[in-house]
């Protein structure tokens, strides 16, 4: 990680923007991550991205089996600009590939479902380790692959006639509850590492500055000339 480049580019930010980046990074986490499997409604997809950003998660994993993931910019309110979005969109095995990737990253695979016998939201064990929360398609929910591969199943307790919440509402309820508990538990190491913070900060700076590529090119020139 080129920390000197971060410092160089940061000089082009306003003091207010630099302070905002530091404040948001301090609350950012990869302890929880969201996985969206085959979401086809742009408004739902965008609302989830906005929710993820608001609750301080950094990563979203997008599985595209049959449906292309489309963002409604008005709904997302620019949230995707600050998130790390990884897409899985090969011809086949996208769900399985995503699960394998997440397991290599140390995540347990948690499928969100409204079914009986699953763990209620308030009983979910956060101290057990990092969790990837999978939300399925609007009509049929999680795929058979996710059902077979999931380590745990999580549900929001329901007390009405309707079987489930809209996906964006479900994500908001679950993330509010879990992030509140996560941040209030001193036994959970949920904050980003220094390396991750630096890498994310650099990506944010590049997305913020106009023609950041030219600024980076100038930085390399100065560095090669021994002026930095």
Binding annotation for S-adenosyl-L-methionine? 112, 156
Annotated binding site: 112, 156
216: helix, strand or coil: helix
Instruction: Say how far apart CA 10 and CA 136 lie, in whole Å.
Output: 39
Spell out the residues 6+ positions from residue 220 whose beta carbon is closer than 8 angstroms to its own: none
Instruction: Say how far apart CA 65 and CA 97 lie, in whole Å.
Output: 11
2: which 2 tokens? 């080129």
Question: Using CA of residue 131, residue 33, residue 91, residue 46, what is the dihedral sign?
Answer: positive
**In which residue are the tokens 């795929």 written?**
143
Instruction: Say how far apart CA 157 and CA 215 lie, in whole Å.
Output: 52
């Amino acid at each position: 990680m080129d920390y000197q480049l971060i410092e160089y580019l940061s000089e082009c930010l306003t003091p207010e923007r630099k302070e905002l980046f530091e404040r948001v990074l301090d609350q950012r986490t990869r302890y929880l991550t969201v996985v969206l499997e085959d979401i086809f409604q742009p408004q739902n997809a965008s609302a989830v991205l906005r929710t993820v950003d608001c609750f301080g998660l950094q990563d979203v994993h997008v599985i595209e089996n049959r449906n292309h993931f489309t963002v409604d910019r008005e709904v997302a309110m620019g949230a995707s600009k600050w998130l790390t979005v990884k897409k899985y969109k090969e011809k086949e095995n996208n769900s399985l590939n995503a699960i394998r990737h997440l397991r290599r990253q140390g995540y347990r695979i948690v499928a969100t479902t409204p079914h009986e016998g699953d763990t209620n939201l308030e009983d979910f064990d956060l101290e057990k380790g990092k969790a990837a929360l999978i939300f399925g398609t609007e009509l049929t929910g999680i795929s058979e692959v996710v059902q077979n591969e999931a380590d745990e199943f999580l549900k929001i307790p329901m007390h009405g006639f309707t079987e489930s919440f809209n996906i964006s509402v479900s994500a908001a309820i679950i993330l509010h509850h879990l992030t509140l508990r996560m941040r209030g538990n001193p036994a959970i190491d949920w904050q980003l590492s220094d390396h991750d913070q630096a890498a994310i900060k650099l990506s944010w700076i590049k997305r913020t500055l106009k023609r950041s590529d030219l600024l980076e090119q100038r930085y390399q020139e100065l560095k090669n000339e021994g002026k930095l």
